[in-house]
A and B are shown apart, each in its own frame.
Chain A
Amino acid sequence: MYNFEFEKPSTIADAVAALGAEDAQALGGGQTLIPTLKQRLASPSALVSLSGIAEMIGVCVEDDGSVAIGGATPHAVVAREAASSYPALAALAGQIGDPAVRNRGTIGGSVANNDPAACYPAGVLGSGATIVTNTREIAADDFFEGMFSTALEEGEIITQVRFPVPQAACYEKFLQPASRFALVGVYVARFADGVRVAVTGASEDGVFRWSEAEAALSKEFRADALMDLKINPMNMIGDLHGSKEYRAHLVSVMTKRAVSACL
């Protein structure tokens, strides 16, 4: 690790101010950032911890029924506190990493990082959630811009993620055997006005919506409705753990399983 300053503000305003310094960086749970620093792959001038900001931690149900999760809320808290209000999302959070990772890692950190194999991006995009930052609100459809890339500006922090709650939803995760991130993860959410299907782990462009599956399922919400649909392997990730073709195949299998689990 290179040397850096450390700050732990207690309000969003103070955090934003601290992040104004050149090369300052937000620290969520540190589950991605700290290993990066240890390998000397990043050299921020200051780390601004978000874990002391009470207004950014916790799960609550808004008047319109949506579930709002503070940007610095650890995965374990979501797994516990969203279990009744949004069980599919709570289940997703409960499948991230191991207990240590879930007790430290945060939703804001995960979504901001947009790892192509991370789970939350599928839940956020599949739910059509809204990412709330210190300056604006961003629809999930506009937020994820490809592997490790998002609509966030320099110094902008995710203060909350707001999820509309679908009638039924399920996240099916096929584990990458080593990291146990998603080799392929599919989040299916059925709303009154249609179905959303978000896929993580599979594509070289990061999390994406499988629109053909959404159209078919919006017509008929059954696994069989996906029978003739195939994902083009071309833009899929091919690596040590699975070829492009295998990942494309898994997208179909996991989507079908998620649909069946919703029924």
Chain B
Amino acid sequence: MPKDSGIGASSKRREDVRFLTGAGNYTDDINAHGQAHVYFLRSDIAHGRINSINTSAAEAMPGVVKVFTGKDFEGVGGMPCGWEVTDRHGAPMQEPPHPILAQGKVRHVGDPIAAVVADSLEQARDAAEAIEVDLDELPAVLDMKAAAQEGATLVHDDLKNNICYDWHLGEEDNDKINGIFANAAHVTTLDLVNNRLVANPMEPRVALAEYSRGTDEYTLYTTSQNPHVIRLLMCAFVLGLPEHKVRVVAPDVGGGFGTKIFHYAEEAFCTFAAKACNRPVKWTSSRSEAFMSDAQGRDHVSTIELALDADNNFIALRTNTYANLGAYLSTFSSSVPTWLHGTLMAGNYKTPVIQVNVKAMFTNTVPVDAYRGAGRPEATYQLERVIDKAARELGVDPIALRRQNFVTQFPYDTPVALTYDTGDYHGTMDKLEAAADIAGFAARRTESEAKGKLRGLGINCYIEACGIAPSNIVGMLGARAGLYDAATVRVNATGSISVMVGAHSHGQGHETAFPQVVADMIGIDESMVEIVHGDTSKIPFGMGTYGSRSLAVCGSAMVRATEKVIDKAKKIAAHLLEASEADIELKDGQFSVAGTDKSVAWGDVTLTAYVPHNFPLEVEPGLEETAFYDPANFTYPAGAYACEVEVDPETGKVSIEAFTAADDFGNIINPMIVDGQVHGGIGQGIGQALLENCAYDENGQLLSASFMDYAMPRADDVPFYGVDHSSQTPCTHNPLGVKGCGEAGAIGSPPAVVNAVLDALNSGGKAIDHIDMPVSPSRVWTAMNS
């Protein structure tokens, strides 16, 4: 029976009322009295040496408050990187400075050179046009393999080369792995590109900073997934401000997808300039600026090799990847191609020997960092594409080949550093086969062929490591932060509850799902619980929302804090009921004495906590508890996806006819929200697979710098999805048994789509091994005709 409230109920998303009726409060909706506006003069070339910048004409323009250049920030820190990766020889990664405004050189189109603060944005822009910048253009470093060669032009002159790190995970013994490959019954090799993406949240980035001379306090309103992380990084590493004098607020945020995790130069600039100008300073990114200043995603070039024995068992896997970091290290960029990617190369399979090699490269492009899935889509894509190719080469059923190699015993230690706690990959695949009617595919293919279309079926499995992360483990791996989270449960006198959570909600539906948990634990109506988030002055602390961690980590902190509240409330109830605390039971919002009909209501207990006339003397008044939760392990959501496409052989156009997802997310709090997360993730994955392509020309100019050329998925590009979440193996180490669902769709769908297209083309008699994403009509047609 579906429940109508509490854990497991599809409660309607309460936040949608304000989002859908235009009543949200986004950063750009906030205006401070007397605010000035900043316009960033950005580089229009990819690589150049700055000889001089003359701002005197600009300073004399109407409305101009102050013009800033890199010189103004010489005494200030640069943008920090939050993760130090150690290379294969044990040396730390090369970590070049990342100034707020360019110093000495510009390194990508969009790199900010100067900033004009003026009364109005148009005045700031007028003045920016009057700034004279004398630049010597340098050759742009773009191709990663060429950039890794000795003698290549350097993006950062002070580094020894363009390689941030050359990293390795898994099998150390090259002779051993070479031997396995040499003696394998079959080896499948595949070269592939994981295309660069622009996240494009609907709301562009915005920052508004205020400074009070009276109190020496700052407030920064910003479009962030993690306001405490921004405060910590900006205060400790960039501006050197005391944290207690800085409040960071991330109000309603219109989508993040990873790109709003990072601390950006514009945020630090506005905070710095608010004091320097003694006026609030506001920046609202235009969409064009977003294309050249928001951290971008993916951009890996890989070669993957899979060795199989004569019985089609996977015996070894080796991958070599060039990962593009862009011109500078963004906040978490270094972790994405390494610990969020290499560790996932085992996938759902018991391959005993795995070796992962990654060269991370600096190029004259926009910095690259986490984007929905972050490293895990890149791993899944490589693995699931090479398995699909192997199945075709061997003439075996791709589902059977996967099943044969599934991990079936848990816990399972992979050769790439993870321990999967639980899962049921066969069970999940059974669900997929039923939900997607795999058995009926042949008949559907015949129907498509009758219309002159090629039909293909693509299968994909994925596993992800979510709920990041155990702080002690990530600390060992180079993280410069802990990845716990926190919640304060504040019970008001009349029994309603405010829960201050560290996880930020920017579309995920926390404001609905989190109260379901607390209300369920106490047995009160969900409407009595409200979530407060996104303001460092209100919440205890928070590492924020990314990596599908909010419920698994912050939700666990919330459960712990609620348990503490209940424990204390039981003490008060025991006092009121003149019973022993051990005999008090809480059910449906009533505290009762076990085995009697004596009870007292939740509201009476909470009122007593704040009006403690008749109160246990050893207990403190009030009812508010905080808990920090640091997970013991990652969580491991896993699933199996099926995509069916039709290809028009005349034009190469691919249309997605059906998409089915069977996911195991462990326990589910709100099935409707989980379905929505999966729908959105698949939509983005289809976007990556068929449409999205962030491309630079040979001079480092962005070819897809607007929606005229960067193709976002639209409603008619995606089908009605089938989703099945009934395969549930609860996480073994967090109190809710939840695993996280936010990224699954984006991780699991691109290989399913590409596998389907190749299946269709091969069914039409074309022996085509691979087409790089986006699998556009033109690329399909070209593959079919070459």
Contacts and interface: CB of A to CB of B under 8 A. Distances in A.
Interface of A: 1, 39-40, 174, 177-179, 183, 239-243, 245-246, 249-250, 253
B195 to A, nearest CB: 12
Interface in B690-741: 690-691, 693, 695, 703-704, 707-712
B708 A179 contact: yes
A239 B122 CA distance: 34
Nearest to A241: B778
B650 interface: yes
A253 B776 contact: no
Nearest to A179: B708
B704 A240 contact: yes
A144 B653 CA distance: 30
Given A40-B125, A240-B693, A253-B651, A246 B778 contact: yes
A227 to B, nearest CB: 13
B707 A178 contact: yes
29 contacts: A39-B288, A174-B651, A174-B777, A177-B691, A177-B711, A178-B704, A178-B707, A178-B708, A178-B710, A178-B711, A178-B712, A179-B707, A183-B777, A240-B693, A240-B695, A240-B703, A240-B709, A241-B776, A241-B778, A242-B778, A243-B778, A243-B782, A245-B782, A246-B652, A246-B777, A246-B778, A249-B785, A250-B651, A253-B651
B26 interface: no
Interface string B642-683: 000000001111000000000000000000000000000000
A241 B780 CA distance: 12
A164 to B, nearest CB: 31
Nearest to B774: A177
B68 interface: no
Given A1-B122, A177-B691, A253-B651, A242 B707 contact: no
A242 B777 contact: yes
Contacts of B610: none
A253 B703 CA distance: 27
A174 B651 CA distance: 9
B237 interface: no
Given A242-B777, A243-B778, A178 B709 contact: yes
A231 to B, nearest CB: 15
A249 B709 contact: no
Most central of B650, B778, B785 by chain A CB within 10 Å: B778
A212 B704 CA distance: 35
Nearest to B650: A253
A249 B653 CA distance: 13
Nearest to B710: A178
- Residue of A1, A177, A253 ringed by the most chain B CB atoms within 10 A: A177
Contacts of A246: 652, 777-778, 781-782
A246 B782 CA distance: 7
A241 B708 CA distance: 11
A202 to B, nearest CB: 13
Nearest to A1: B122
Contacts of A245: 782
Given A1-B122, A241-B776, A253-B650, A179 B781 contact: no
Contacts of B690: 177
Contacts of A243: 778, 782
A249 B122 CA distance: 46
Contacts of A174: 651, 653, 777
A50 B119 CA distance: 34
A242 to B, nearest CB: 4
A244 to B, nearest CB: 11
Nearest to A117: B708
Interface in B741-786: 776-778, 781-782, 785
A261 to B, nearest CB: 14
Given A178-B708, A240-B709, A241-B776, 10 more contacts: A177-B711, A179-B709, A240-B704, A241-B709, A241-B778, A242-B776, A246-B777, A246-B782, A253-B650, A253-B651
A246 B781 CA distance: 7
Contacts of B712: 178
Given A240-B709, A246-B781, A249-B781, A177 B776 contact: yes
A31 B691 CA distance: 24
A125 to B, nearest CB: 23
Interface in B574-626: none
Contacts of B710: 178
A246 B711 CA distance: 19
A4 to B, nearest CB: 12
Contacts of B781: 246, 249
A241 B704 CA distance: 10
Nearest to A174: B651
A7 to B, nearest CB: 21
Contacts of A1: 122
Q: Which of A39, A174, A183, A240 has the most CB of B within 10 A?
A: A240
A144 B541 CA distance: 64
A1 B126 CA distance: 10
In the A-B complex, list the 6 residue pairs whose CB atoms are closest, starting with the nearest.
Answer: A178-B711, A242-B778, A177-B711, A179-B708, A246-B778, A253-B650
